[in-house]
Structure 1
Amino acid sequence: MDEKISLEAIAQYGDAYADKVLKAFFSSKEKITGPEILTLCNVQQVNLFVIRELFKAWREETRKQKSIYFDNGNPEVKEALNTYMTVLSNHISVDRANFAPLLKKAVSQTLLAIFNPYDFFSMLIVGKENRLEVSAFREEIKYLKVNKAPLERMLHKLEEKNTTEIQGNEAFAVLDQILEEVNFTPEDLDDYIARFSQVVPLDPASFFSSKAPEPVRQPEEPRSLFSEPVVRENKPMSEKKVPVHETKTEPTLNERMNKVKQPEVIDSFRKIARIKDNLSINQKFMFTKVLFYGDFESFSRAIDDLDQLPDMNAALHYLEKHSSTWDRDSKEFHEFMEMVEKRFS
């Protein structure tokens, strides 16, 4: 993708946001309690992710305490541990030094879940050693409020089949099917941007890496993305030498696709019956975010419309009408058009 989420940029903003929150809270207190964590930030998802990290740490410490000399599976022992956990949850007390990394991680994960749900879903689904443990997955999404519907449905399907573990690629296939069933559309960003900006101004564009520059084929006349196009002097037709970078008018969509339809390119394509059935989860999120501006419903409608068309000319006519605002130099555009070409080749 030309536009890719930058985990470093997210982490930098997360640190700045967390530092402001930490400074405001710990200016008058030495430790923070459970109830205070739940109301600490104006973005509730951040607070819930902090609580999730605390309980994950508690479970890990509990595992370390297990002994070969005791029956940890005994119902009375399990009940006692659950009671202990309930009591412990009401007596959370964390100082600033230990709380800071929890908060920073929670902010970063919240931003990822909001601005790039596909990558966030991927992190949850892959799990350990490319396997998804259903019990751990259930605990993870218990604290998730943002873009949660597909994962809840996925958990329900896995539990219906009494699945305890599933391979990562199988999990992605299940999620892919669910995204179609629920017609998933990522939540609106405006409210989250406003809430985060109350603490630290947030520019969503800063989370995405800029488009990679085109390779320079000749050293002369390097071009900036913001410079005016270089207009070269026209040479008489009788002259044999023609500049390599001749200024040309922008080709139409049909002209672009005619270039793709060269025999050597077509031969490398595998004709597909429907675009909808051959899109990966990654492509769905990528096309939705970049070409359809986050509107999954519009994306799904366009794919359905294209699959119903009779031939390539009809598809090109449809896209000329509906894709006027797309960046036709982007990799997303070209990858999308490759799928269209495979459908009608």
Structure 2
Amino acid sequence: MTDQINSNYLETYASKYASEVCNKFFQGRKFIGGQEIIELTNSTQVNFFILKRLFGLWQEELEKLKSNPFFDYRDITVHEALTQFMNVLSKRIKVERSHFEPLLKQAVQDAVKVATDPVTFYQNEIKQAQDDHVNDYLKENKKYYKWHAPVIAFLIDKTGFGLNKEPYIKAIAANYQAIQDDLESVNLLLATLGDVAPFDLDTYLPKAAETAEVAEENDTQESSFFDQIEGQEEEVKKEAEPKPEVEAPQKEVMTPPSSTKATKILDAELLRRQFETESYVGMKAAVATLSEGLAINQRFMFTRELFDGNSDLLMHALKQIDESGNFLSAIDLINLRFVSELNWDAESDVVKEFLQLVYRRFDD
């Protein structure tokens, strides 16, 4: 697919996107910190690609210190002190706009590439790893892969591939062919960028556009900010899950395509009449925006059950639905963009709970 892309368009788009985001964020601010980067845009993948690059720079700085020939960095006390210092430093991310904007621009470009051509993107990731440490590289970076992660996630801890990169590269292509029908829609992924600037897939992939359309710190020992990114997320999930099975299982590599599910169009008038007669606790409480009315357990449930485990898609959907104007228009949008696209089971309890939230948003 790489021979079909319009690289000039991607360069221009990423520059515009980065400029608009920075214009908004740095108005009245001089620096951006780590937690602010995590929450910077509606695209989790863009945010985490920025952190991925900072993580790489952090590691490079550590290696520079270790390469000094005049001191014994193999001494255990020196090693521990150095690790402690770097972990503290990682929590003091402080980037000016002039340095941050190029990072954001590259993150946008990488996000588009992984959305539209995950095979090439992840193969290039493998090529960046040291020959003897491919698995280590993947384990260190897996927390930063938010889009099409199943294409590469199955390789982590698969030591049977040996030290050569070639088996990894071939396995990525083969795995993609096996699971591509289960991956998120390219259009839905790229739509999460649209809150800043709409992305024109037809311009970027003129020959493939039609196919794409179908298809905080510890009290004792400091830990790294980059290590905590994943850990904090898992801790929140554990607190949110009401059932014993705390951690939602990841989608298996060879899961049958979701397109086998039967879909049913939602009847807006029938739903409104049904919800009007229900009077259980919380049903009649109006919400200003869908995201504000979303309980933390609902967030993870909806993400997992309705949006293929992609929180970007959930937040983008909530914003689009908020702009619908009324309940009937909201249901029309949900039918058009999500019920059929994501193969929702209209009769399921989780869909009903999602629609109840939408009803509360527009109930007059």
Q: TM-score, normalized by length of structure 1?
A: 0.55
Is the 2:187–2:212 Cα contact (8 Å) retained in structure 1?
A: no
In terms of fraction of residues, the more helix-rich structure is 2
Is the 2:119–2:173 Cα contact (8 Å) retained in structure 1?
A: no
Is the 1:117–1:186 Cα contact (8 Å) retained in structure 2?
A: no
Structure 1's unaligned 5+ residue stretches are: 212-285, 302-345
Is the 2:161–2:168 Cα contact (8 Å) retained in structure 1?
A: no
Matching residue's letter, 1:88? L
Distance 1:11 1:138, change over 3 A: farther
Structure 2's unaligned 5+ residue stretches are: 216-254, 261-364
Is the 1:126–1:132 Cα contact (8 Å) retained in structure 2?
A: no
> Aligned to 2:154, what secondary structure does the other structure show?
helix
Alignment of 1:87-166 (within 5 A): 87-127=88-128, 133-158=134-159, 161=160, 163=162, 165-166=163-164
Per-residue deviation, 1:116:
1.6
Question: Partners in 2 of 1:119 and 1:19 — Cα distance?
Answer: 27
> Aligned to 1:197, what secondary structure does the other structure show?
coil
Question: Partners in 2 of 1:289 and 1:121 — Cα distance?
Answer: 23
Question: Partners in 1 of 2:24 and 2:44 — Cα distance?
Answer: 17
Match of 1:197 in 2: 194
Offset from partner CA, 1:62-102 (integer Å, 9 cap, x none): 21222223332344333333322321222111111011111
Which stretch has the larger CA shift, 119-128 or 183-192?
Answer: 183-192
Is the 1:125–1:132 Cα contact (8 Å) retained in structure 2?
A: no
Distance 1:85 1:20, change over 3 A: same
The sequence identity of aligned pairs, in percent, is 27
Match of 2:29 in 1: 29
Matching residue's letter, 2:199? L
Matching residue's letter, 1:83? Q
> Aligned to 1:98, what secondary structure does the other structure show?
helix
Distance 1:292 1:201, change over 3 A: closer
Offset from partner CA, 1:182-228 (integer Å, 9 cap, x none): 566331234333321111122211211x45xxxxxxxxxxxxxxxxx
Question: Partners in 2 of 1:171 and 1:162 — Cα distance?
Answer: 7
Matching residue's letter, 2:51? I
Question: Partners in 2 of 1:131 and 1:107 — Cα distance?
Answer: 30
Question: Partners in 1 of 2:112 and 2:94 — Cα distance?
Answer: 26
Match of 1:220 in 2: none
Match of 1:68 in 2: 69
Match of 1:272 in 2: none
Question: Partners in 2 of 1:151 and 1:184 — Cα distance?
Answer: 15
Question: Partners in 1 of 2:153 and 2:77 — Cα distance?
Answer: 31
Matching residue's letter, 1:68? P
Distance 1:289 1:206, change over 3 A: closer
Alignment of 1:311-322 (within 5 A): none
Matching residue's letter, 2:55? F
Question: Partners in 2 of 1:33 and 1:78 — Cα distance?
Answer: 27
Matching residue's letter, 1:122? Q
Is the 1:150–1:184 Cα contact (8 Å) retained in structure 2?
A: no
Q: Aligned pairs, how many? A: 219
Per-residue deviation, 1:17:
0.6
Question: Partners in 1 of 2:212 and 2:35 — Cα distance?
Answer: 42
Offset from partner CA, 1:153-209 (integer Å, 9 cap, x none): 112213xx494x323x2222332444466566331234333321111122211211x
Alignment of 1:200-211 (within 5 A): 200-208=197-205, 210=206
Is the 1:9–1:207 Cα contact (8 Å) retained in structure 2?
A: yes
Q: TM-score, normalized by length of structure 2?
A: 0.53
> Aligned to 1:156, what secondary structure does the other structure show?
coil
Is the 2:186–2:213 Cα contact (8 Å) retained in structure 1?
A: no
Per-residue deviation, 1:289:
8.3
Per-residue deviation, 1:130:
8.1
Q: Are 1:172 and 2:169 an aligned pair? A: yes
Give the greater-gyration-radius structure (CA): 1
Match of 1:311 in 2: none
